[in-house]
Structure 1
Amino acid sequence: MEVSGILEALKERAQWTEARKIIIRAGLKAGKGWPRTIARYAGAEVMQESADALASGLAEHLLVGDKALRLYQLPEENLTELRTFASEMDVPETSFSAAYPCKVPNAGAAGNDESILCAKYDDEDGIFLVYSGVRKFEVKEKLDLTKFGDSLPSEFQGFSAVYGSKVIERQLFDVLWIPRSGNVVFSIADSPKGMPPEFLSAAHAKIRRLLMDGIGYYPEPLNLFNFIQAVYGSNWGTVVELGFLTDTGSVKHEHMKLTCLRQEPFHVGGKDAVDGIIHPFSILIRWMEKDGELEWEPEFTLHSSAFEAHSINPSLYDAYFGSGILVRDLKRLRRRISQVLESKPS
C-alpha cells in the first residue's frame, strides 16, 4: 500500500521527534528528517500491515497530540445518560469520515462552518467522539534574511530580524472522551502552535453543547487551580517549570532542563528560606513513557498568573497536554488526575 498521504498528514500535525517514533513503531524506516522520509516512500508500496500501523499511529496522535483540555466531573446518573447518548451516535458519511485519519483533500471547500463527527472509538477504556473541521488562523514567523542574498530589499537593510504574518488553514480534530471508569469526562481541543485562544474556546464550546445534548444541561468545567499545588506536592514526574508566590511578596518563575525542581538545590534552598511555604500558580510536568526501545516524554501544563493567584477565588479551567504519542499516555494522565481529585476534591 502507498503511504505518502498518511506521512503528509502526520507531517502537518506532529513534530519530527514524535513522528519518527510513530513511523518506527509502524515498522517503517525513518530518514534523517521529513524531506528524506517523504522522498523514501514517495510512490513506494509497503506491506499492508505497516500501512495500517502507520494509519493507526496517526489516528492516536489525532487524539493526544498537542491538546487543550477541559474536565467535567459529572454525577453517575448523568454519566450513564451520556454513555448511552454517545453509544447510540452514528458517524455520518462525509468527506471527513471517508478521509479519516488523513486530511480531506481541499478541506476548505469541504465545509468549515461547523466541525462534524468523523470517527468514533468505543472500547474497554471508554468512548471517543472525534470531530473535525477547518479553521483559519494567522501566525507570525521569523524570516531568514540570509536567503535573500544580494536581493534583500533596501527596506530590510540594517534589521537583524524580520517577522511576517501568514494565514494558515488547518483541518483540526477535537474530541469528547467519556472514560468507562471514574466520573470525569474530557473535552480535548486541538491546540497546534499559534492557535488563537478564541479558537480553543470555540472548540470547547462545541463539545460543551454536545454534553448538554447528552445530559440536558450545560455542565461547568472543573476549576483546576488547586491541581497546581497538588501536582507540585506529589512525586509524579519531573517538574521542569514552576511559577509561584511567596509570603514575602516575591513572584518567581523557575525553569529546569533535566533535574526536577522539587530536588534542585537552589530551589530547595530558597524554599527552606521561606519555611517551605510557596504558592504555585503555574507548572509544567513531564514523565517518561516507553515502548520497546523507544522513549518519549509527554507533558502536562497548568498555567495561570500571579495576578490570578492573588484573587480571592483563583480559577483555572484550561490545561494542556503535549508530546503524547499513544492514547495510553492520555489514559495515564487521567489516572493521575483521578488521584488528585480523590486527594483534593475541591
Structure 2
Amino acid sequence: MSRTSDIIQCMRKRLPWGVAYNIFTSLNLEKGLGWPGTEKKVLDGDTTYESKEKELELALEEHLICGEKIVRFYELLEQDIDTLRKKMVNLLPEIPNDKMTTRYPILLDGNDLNDRYFEPQIISVRELVDGWAVSVGVKRTISIKHQADVANLKDVPQQFSNCKKITGIEFSEIQAIDVLWVPKSSNIIELRIDYLKSNKKDYNKECFYKCKNFFVDKFGDIFGKPINLFPILEKIYKDNENGTITELGFMISSGAQKLEKSRRGGTCCRVEAYHLGGTEKLDFPIQVYRENVMWKREIAKEIYSSPEIGLYGLSHQTALPNPELFEMFFFNCMGVSDYEFVKNNILGYL
C-alpha cells in the first residue's frame, strides 16, 4: 500500500467529511460518494491523489495540530514564556527514532500501537509563522457503543428477554495527538488534546492532567491555572456581528432552563424570531451558560470552511458568584488558518 493510501485512510479516521471535502476540492481532486467512495478511488489507484501527496500530508498534519481539539489556555509570566521559547530547539534531539515518529502524520494502529505508547512522547516540533506546535503521541482507549434489537438476536440471555434493545460497549485503542502551542508574540500558551466523541468529560480532564504533567516534567510547573472562559459566553451572545450561534443554553429569571438550536447555516439563535419574542418579555437579561458558534470563511474561490467552537458550561453555574469554564472545543477547522482566526476572534473578548 502506498503512503498516499495510508494518508487518506488516516484522514478518513480523523477528519469530518465536510472538512476533507473542502481540502480535496481546493486541491482539484475528484471525490467519490462521501468517505467510502473517495477512499475506494484512492485504493483503486487514482494517480491524481498520488500527485498531491505532499499537500495531503500537510493537510493531515495541520488537522492533527488544530482540528477537533479541546483546548485550555494559560497566561504565562514574561520570563517563563521567554524561557519556554528558547527551549523549543532543544526538544528536537528528544524525538525518538521509532515507528510513531517516522510515520507521523500517519498514525499507528493495531499491533504497531503497543503498550509502551501509553506513555506520551514528543513526535514532532513544528515551527509555524506564529509559534511552535509540539505534538505528543500517546495511546488511548476509547469506548464505542453499539445497539442491537433483541428480536434480531439468537440465544438472548434470560435477563435480557424483556428488553427491546441491547447496548454493547466496544473498547478500542487509538493513537491520540496532543499539542503544546507556544506562540512567538503572545504570553498565552495552549494545551490541545484530541476530542474523542465517545469519551466523557471526566476522561477528557484526565487527558489534560496527563498532558500537562508530561510538559511540567520537561519545563517545570509554569502553567498555573487555565484562563477562565465563562465570562466570554455573555460577550459573544451580545455581539451580533460575530459568528452564528447554532446552539444557545441559558437560564431566565424564573429559574427556567432553555436550550435553543439552529441548523448549521440557518438563522443565528441570537436573532431567531422565537428567541427575540421570548426574551423581549423578560424582566431581566438571560444568563448564558452554553454556546456553539460557527463562522463561514472563504478559503478559496467558492470554497467555504465552517469552523466552529463550543463552550459548554452548566446551567447551575449561572447562580454562582464566579463561575468557571476552562475548556473550549474546536470543530471543523480546515487548517491552521481557520483555527487561528477563530481563536484570536474569541480571545479578543478577554
Higher alpha-carbon deviation: 49-58 or 290-299: 290-299
- Residue of structure 1 in register with 2:71 after alignment: 69
Alignment of 1:308-323 (within 5 A): 308-323=317-332
Can you give the 5+ residue segments of structure 2 that lack an aligned partner in the other structure? Answer: none
**How far has the Cα of 1:21 moved from its partner?**
2.2
Partner of 2:140: 135
Alignment-mate amino acid for residue 77 of structure 1: Q
Give the Å deviation of 1:277. 0.8
Q: Give the residue type in structure 2 aligned to 1:30.
A: K
Query: What aligned pairs does 1:1-346 form with structure 2 within 5 A after superposition?
Result: 3-42=4-43, 44=45, 46=47, 49-90=51-92, 91-104=95-108, 106-109=111-114, 111-143=116-148, 152-153=153-154, 155=156, 161-209=165-213, 210-211=215-216, 213-214=218-219, 216-234=221-239, 235-257=241-263, 258-275=266-283, 277-292=285-300, 293-341=302-350
Consecutive unaligned residues in structure 1, runs of 5 or more: 342-346
1:217-272 alpha-carbon deviations (Å, 9 max, x no partner): 44111111111111112221001111111223222111111101111121112212
Paired residues of 2:75 and 2:223 also in contact (CA < 8 A):
no
Q: Cα distance 1:199–1:25, how it changes in 2: closer, same or farther (>3 A)?
A: farther
Q: Quote the RMSD (CA, aligned, Å).
A: 2.3
Which SS does the other structure have where 2:232 is aligned? Answer: helix
Query: Helix, strand or coil: the match of 1:223?
Result: coil
Distance 1:157 1:65, change over 3 A: farther
Q: Provide the rounded CA distance (Å) in 1 between the counterparts of 2:285 and 2:273.
A: 16
AA of the residue aligned to 1:136: T
1:40 Cα offset (Å): 1.4
DSSP 3-state at the match of 2:88:
helix
Shift of 1:52: 0.7
Q: Report % sequence identity.
A: 26
TM-score (norm 2): 0.88
In the alignment, residue 139 of structure 1 is paired with which amino acid? Answer: I
| Residue deviations 1:174-231 (CA, integer Å, cap 9, x gap) | 1111122222111100012202334422332234231564354441111111111111
Q: Report the AA paired with residue 239 of structure 1.
A: I
- C-alpha offsets along residues 68-92 of structure 1, whole Å, 9 cap, x if unaligned? 1111011222211111122321133
Q: Secondary structure at the match of 2:179?
A: strand
Query: Which secondary structure state, in structure 1, belongs to the residue aligned with residue 199 of structure 2?
Result: coil
Question: CA contact under 8 A between 1:64 and 1:322: conserved in structure 2?
Answer: no
Aligned equivalents of 2:19 and 2:150: distance in 1? 29
Q: Do the aligned partners of 2:252 and 2:284 also contact (CA within 8 Å) in 1?
A: no
Distance 1:26 1:186 in 2: 30
* More displaced 10-residue stretch of structure 1: 31-40 or 251-260: 31-40
8 Å CA contact retained: 2:262, 2:268: yes
The count of corresponding residues between Structure 1 and Structure 2 is: 337
Tell me the SS of whatever aligns to 2:235: helix
CA change 1:289–1:162 in 2 (3 A) is farther
- Separation in 1, partners of 2:107, 2:149: 29
In structure 2, the CA distance between the partners of 1:337 and 1:81, relative to structure 1 (3 Å rule), is farther
